[in-house]
C-alpha cells in the first residue's frame, strides 16, 4: 500500500511539473543524459525553493528509465553539499527503484516463469533469486555506477520478495551513492582529480569482480545442493 502511495505521489508531482512547465522533463532529461554536471546542477538550482522536489523527481525518473545516475548524484553534491546531496540521491534512487519494481513485476513475472519452464537449465538461476535474492541485489547495488535499470528489471522478473528487494536496495545504495557523489564532483574538475578518478574506477572494477565471483560461487553451491 505504501509503495502505491509513493507512486501516486510521484505521478502527481510529475503532472504538476508538466502543466506548470511543459518543457520541464525534456530539459532535465536532456541535461542528465548529456553528462554535463555543471549545467544540470545550475538548472536544478534555478528552481529555488522547489529544487529539492525537482531533484527527487528527476532522480526517480532517472532510476526508472535506466539512465546513469553518477551525473545526477554529482549535481546533488554540488547544489546541496556532500551529505545532503547523498541523502537526496538516496531518497530519489530508492523511490525510483520502488516505482520501477512495482510497475515491472506484473509485466515480467509471469513471462519469466513461462520462459524458465521452457528452459530447464535456467531453473536453478531463477530459484536462486528467491533463496538469495536479498544478497544478490544488495551486492549489485553496492557497485558504484552499476546499471540501476537493469537491476530493477532483473529483480522484477525474478522471485525476490518486495520486502527483500527494498531492504537490499536501501542498504546497498548507501556506499555506492557516496562514491557517485564524490566521483561526480571530481569529474567536474577532472584535471585536478585524475588520480582519484582512476582510483574510483579501479574500486568499481574490484567490486564488480567480487560480485561476479560471489554469484558464481553461490550458483555452484546451489548446484551441489
Do 85 and 79 contact (CB within 8 A), yes or no? yes
Supply the DSSP symbol for 120.
G
Average pLDDT, the chain: 77
Sign of the Cα torsion 1, 164, 101, 21 reads positive
The per-residue pLDDT for range 88-106, each reduced to its tens digit, is 999 999 999 998 898 888 8
The whole-number pLDDT of residue 166 equals 94
Q: Is the pLDDT of residue 61 over 80?
A: yes
For 91-122, b where at least 16 C-beta lie within 10 A, e where not — what string? bbbbbbbbbbbeebbeebeeebeeebeeeeee
Helices (H), 37-122: 37-45, 51-65, 70-80, 82-118
Cell of 30: 536532456
CA 139 to chain centre: 13
Cβ contact 131:187 at 8 Å: no
Q: How far apart are CA 191 and CA 34, in angstroms?
A: 19
The string of pLDDT tens digits covering residues 5-44 is 666 666 776 776 666 666 766 777 777 777 778 888 888 9
Smallest CA-to-CA distance from 58 within 32, 84, 34 is with 32
Give first-to-last CA distance, the chain, whole Å: 37
Query: Of 46-55, 74-83, 172-181, 208-217, which range is least confident?
Result: 208-217
The proportion of the chain whose per-residue pLDDT surpasses 70, expressed as a percent, equals: 64
Closest C-alpha among 98, 93, 154 to residue 122:
154
Q: What is the pTM of this model?
A: 0.74
pLDDT at 225: 55
Nearest Cα neighbor of 104 from 66, 48, 51 is 66
Looking at residue 86, what is its pLDDT?
94
Give the separation between CA 61 and CA 25, rounded to whole angstroms: 9
CB 104 within 8 A of CB 153: yes
Amino acid at each position: 500500500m505504501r509503495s502505491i502511495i509513493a507512486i501516486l505521489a510521484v505521478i502527481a508531482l510529475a503532472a504538476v511539473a508538466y502543466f506548470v512547465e511543459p518543457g520541464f522533463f525534456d530539459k532535465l532529461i536532456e541535461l542528465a543524459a548529456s553528462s554535463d554536471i555543471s549545467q544540470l546542477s545550475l538548472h536544478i538550482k534555478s528552481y529555488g525553493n522547489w529544487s529539492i522536489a525537482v531533484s527527487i523527481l528527476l532522480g526517480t525518473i532517472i532510476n526508472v528509465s535506466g539512465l546513469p545516475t553518477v551525473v545526477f548524484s554529482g549535481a546533488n553534491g554540488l547544489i546541496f553539499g556532500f551529505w545532503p546531496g547523498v541523502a537526496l540521491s538516496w531518497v530519489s534512487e530508492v523511490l525510483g527503484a520502488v516505482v520501477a519494481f512495482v510497475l515491472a513485476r506484473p509485466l515480467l513475472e509471469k513471462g519469466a516463469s513461462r520462459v524458465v519452464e521452457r528452459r530447464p537449465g535456467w531453473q536453478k538461476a531463477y530459484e536462486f533469486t528467491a533463496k538469495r535474492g536479498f544478497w544478490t541485489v544488495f551486492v549489485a547495488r553496492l557497485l558504484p555506477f552499476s546499471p540501476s535499470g537493469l537491476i530493477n528489471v532483473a529483480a522484477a522478473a525474478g522471485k525476490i520478495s518486495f520486502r527483500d528487494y527494498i531492504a537490499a536496495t536501501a542498504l546497498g545504495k548507501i556506499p555506492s551513492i557516496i562514491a557517485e557523489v564524490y566521483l561526480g564532483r571530481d569529474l567536474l574538475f577532472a584535471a585536478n582529480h585524475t588520480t582519484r578518478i582512476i582510483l574510483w574506477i579501479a574500486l568499481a572494477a574490484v567490486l564488480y569482480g567480487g560480485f561476479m565471483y560471489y554469484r558464481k560461487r553461490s550458483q555452484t553451491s546451489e548446484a551441489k545442493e
